[in-house]
């Protein structure tokens, strides 16, 4: 895949709490790209499933729900909103209950098929930064720039705790770390498109890096890829 100018496709993967969304959002803003938060799509469907009382082990019911649900991403001043059946659920998707259950919904093959189709359509024109668990390996395997972000489970739990506390939730760091480890296991062992680092992705361990350091490293990688593409070195 080769694109001219700024229209590259950037795939950022990694486990829960590695900082993918906040980093991807900033990188896209700085470079004038469109940010696509795939995790928000699965979270929106999880919100609907929980509201309807669907048993999350019922794969057939979840697959039907995915087919029946309209999910859209909208943007205003670089701020993304997730719209589910006409409702803005941008706040609802970030509750602890959704975080605890989204991996159970996302692992269902029928759900992933519907979401991946939408994600690929959004990426067709390039100039996007898309983050998730399987972007570089399954959703957009031909993406020019692939990054795999990670951090220790403890560090990821501490980051998540800060976010939840800022939203008014009381958290137990040890329990949060166990929850993250469980999500890692589910994401890494699911049958369809498990979480794993693409062979051509660069690995960035953010455990001891500042937010700005991570953003700058990714932007430099994208710019180098653009230069190589322009010079025909890719």
175 by Cβ neighbours in 10 Å (0-12 / 13-18 / 19+) ranks as exposed
Kindly compute the dihedral angle of the four CA atoms of residues 115, 119, 122, 128, in this order, to the nearest 10 degrees. 150
pLDDT tier at 6 (50, 70, 90 boundaries)?
A: low
Residue-wise pLDDT tens digits, 188-232: 998 888 999 999 999 999 999 999 999 999 999 999 998 887 665
Whether this model's pTM surpasses 0.75: yes
Residue-wise pLDDT tens digits, 81-133: 999 999 999 999 999 999 999 999 999 999 999 999 999 998 988 899 999 98
Q: Please say if the pLDDT value at position 4 is more than 50.
A: no
Residue-wise pLDDT tens digits, 135-183: 999 999 999 999 999 999 999 999 989 988 888 888 899 999 999 999 8
């Amino acid at each position: 895949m080769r694109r001219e100018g700024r229209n590259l496709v950037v795939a950022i993967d990694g486990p829960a709490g590695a900082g993918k969304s906040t980093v991807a959002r900033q990188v896209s803003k700085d470079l004038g790209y469109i940010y696509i938060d795939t995790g928000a799509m699965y979270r929106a469907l999880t919100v609907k499933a929980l509201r309807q009382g669907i048993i999350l082990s019922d794969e057939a019911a979840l697959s039907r729900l995915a087919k029946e649900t309209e999910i859209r991403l909208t943007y205003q001043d670089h701020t993304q909103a997730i719209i589910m059946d006409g409702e803005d659920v941008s706040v609802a998707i970030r509750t602890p209950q959704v975080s605890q259950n989204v991996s159970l919904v996302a692992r269902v093959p029928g759900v992933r098929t519907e979401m991946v189709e939408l994600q690929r359509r959004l990426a067709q024109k390039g100039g996007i930064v898309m983050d998730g668990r399987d972007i570089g390996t399954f959703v957009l395997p031909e993406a020019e720039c692939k990054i795999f972000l990670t951090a220790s489970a403890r560090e990821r739990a501490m980051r998540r705790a800060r976010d939840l506390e800022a939203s008014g939730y009381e958290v137990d760091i040890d329990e949060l770390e166990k929850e993250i480890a469980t999500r890692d296991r589910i994401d890494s062992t699911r049958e369809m498109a498990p979480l794993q680092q693409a062979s051509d992705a660069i690995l960035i361990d953010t455990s001891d890096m500042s937010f700005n350091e991570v953003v700058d490293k990714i932007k430099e990688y994208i710019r180098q890829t653009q230069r190589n593409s322009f010079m025909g070195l890719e």
